[in-house]
Chains A and B, each alone.
Chain A
């Protein structure tokens, strides 16, 4: 093992004298993380904002619940109250707005008909009319969804009250019960525990994405230096030396591992100090970094084993790194995409690294176990095949 460390130390010494190592390992990922983080953070931080008009022709308690509870209580919603449909329509329809008026200021108008609360109490069909601004499709869609949501709540209350009446064989004050139930906050709250919807802040996300993306380039030097040694003739000297062949591969692997871990760690510390990236528990982050570096080394070894020259190995490994980087969502947060895209990203270690960090941001260090095991599986399986092939190719 002493000779493996000697080979690793020699490789690291050469690497320290190579300026491109600093660029690929630290400067480029740090610069890209900062650029992506700052440019794209307005998109990531988007908050829903809309102006809705409302005409309450009912004035009853259920209508009041909808207006004051559902609409006025929604974050990002500005509510414009009008007394009549005629006075509300100019808010969303330029055709009826007075010439030169800037009345068209709402994305949708809700009209609650007279007798709404009584109809609800009497189990008669009720309607909340939503009139959308034709130029505000998204916000109008949200308005429809809000009305539908309230209707669903009312249906639930109706079913519950009917069930109670059936059980106690006596009528219940539907209006009072409905108002009470609809006005009560749900006793149960849903806490998201999956990373599917959990997000890192933009700066941390891109710092993490660039760190795991570039580590696939950083660790390439372990394999490419082996092929460079063959080209330069120094591999012959290593093969003639009285050392087992595996120590050559071990030395190269140790060197690549150290370079990979150091470059990601420097990036983590730099982004935490420079731009307040929030990485989470140091222990969890350390476990994720070590596993990501091992995954990268394994995959690079597997891909590079098919190369005959250092240039070929670099090209193969870079191609795979870029594909896995995109699949794993290092440039765009695919966890929010849903469907098969959100699932397929886990064929990439990058996705596991990002998921681990996202989980870590909202949980204790134990949440990184699955991502770490997944990345280790990538690294060890691919690495075992790759190293076996590389060993066969150890010849002058």
Chain B
């Protein structure tokens, strides 16, 4: 990492706002990330995560608000603040005609790394992303997981103070996903500040020291996982795997006393309830009346999905 010391946060952003015509993509979003901290932006697709990241990394002009990285003001034209950022976009951003080594060397030069230092650092990153033995093959011959690892490696090349990863595990096989998560854990332990966006609750729970829950462009809540679960309180999360008129049924569940929230998830309905076991008969009765076929029931203590459901009235995987 660079040698410039800072006593303040690595990232400090506040009041971020961006609209595209009549659509407000991000409204009044702000948070801080300290060195060694992994901060997760958790929200469904279209929540405003990528737009927020684009403003933080200097890719997109913001309508209002401020971003500082290591105390340097960030804008689309600034070069000082950008020097501190490693950016890993959601989609693969590598040159398929070039090998891993050539990709890394090219981006290294853009960050001012040259000569022997570049050779050494490229080899280090190839080791980190476990691509040294395929480093000189064209990257269009790599597997999806290898391409993902190279995509991350480019972001690490210049020892950034802040690593921004935008949903890096989307479309990745379980083995590669686990490798990526382990890499991010190691980076955080090594003192790097990490901004990690995801709509996978498990990843957020595993990686993030603090979380911001974002929906429809607004930061709904922020804190540690424990802080956020407190929002739900002594509630249970009930997950019904079901088929039928799910939207109507979720609405009907909300009429049941003791059901705090109910929302449609990708293959069923999630509920936040008090005393799940006591309410189950009534829940099944309503489901039956609504002609919803329930194939399985899971009851857990409150987690981040429950928090999201509680805050937004929608399931995270809607």
Contacts and interface: CB of A to CB of B under 8 A. Distances in A.
Interface of A: 2-3, 6-7, 10, 13-14, 17-18, 232-234, 236-245, 395-396
B282 to A, nearest CB: 50
Given A237-B87, A396-B54, A396-B59, A242 B93 contact: no
Contacts of A243: 79, 110
Contacts of B92: 232-233
A241 B82 contact: yes
A236 B106 contact: no
B154 interface: yes
A97 to B, nearest CB: 76
Contacts of A238: 110
A6 B80 CA distance: 20
Given A2-B109, A13-B98, A236 B87 contact: yes
Contacts of A234: 93-95
B77 to A, nearest CB: 7
A18 B98 CA distance: 12
Contacts of A3: 109-110
A396 B87 CA distance: 13
B97 A18 contact: yes
A10 B106 contact: yes
Interface size band for B: 20 to 34
Contact of B111 (A17, A233, A242): A242
Contacts of A13: 97-98, 102
B87 A240 contact: yes
Contacts of B93: 232-234, 236-237
B98 A240 contact: no
B59 A236 contact: yes
Interface string B56-72: 01111000000000000
Contact of A242 (B82, B96, B154): B82
B196 to A, nearest CB: 17
Contacts, number: 70
Interface string B193-215: 00000000000000000000000
Nearest to A15: B97
Nearest to B114: A2
Interface in B79-107: 79-80, 82-83, 85, 87, 89, 91-98, 102, 106-107
A10 B105 CA distance: 10
B312 interface: no
Contacts of A236: 59, 87, 89, 93
A13 B92 CA distance: 20
B89 A17 contact: no
Contacts of B58: 239-240
Contact of A6 (B59, B83, B98, B110): B110
B291 to A, nearest CB: 45
- Among B58, B93, B112, the one with the most A-chain Cβ atoms within 10 Å of its Cβ is B93
B82 A6 contact: no
B76 interface: yes
- Among B96, B97, B98, B102, the one with the most A-chain Cβ atoms within 10 Å of its Cβ is B97
Contact of B154 (A6, A17, A237, A245): A237
A238 B79 CA distance: 12
Given A2-B109, A13-B98, A240 B82 contact: yes
Closest 5 CB pairs of A and B: A233-B93, A242-B79, A6-B109, A241-B110, A242-B82
B109 A240 contact: no
A156 B102 CA distance: 80
Given A239-B58, A240-B57, A240-B82, A233 B110 contact: no
A244 B109 contact: no
Given A237-B87, A395-B60, A396-B60, A10 B95 contact: yes
Contacts of B98: 10, 13-14
B107 to A, nearest CB: 7
5 contacts: A18-B97, A233-B91, A240-B59, A240-B87, A242-B79
A7 B107 CA distance: 9
Interface in B135-175: 154
Given A233-B93, A237-B154, A245-B77, A395 B59 contact: yes
A239 B59 contact: yes
Contact of B76 (A7, A232, A239): A239
Contacts of A241: 82, 107, 110-111
Nearest to B54: A396
Contacts of B112: 242
A237 B166 CA distance: 13
Interface in B117-142: none
Contacts of B87: 236-237, 240
A230 B298 CA distance: 44
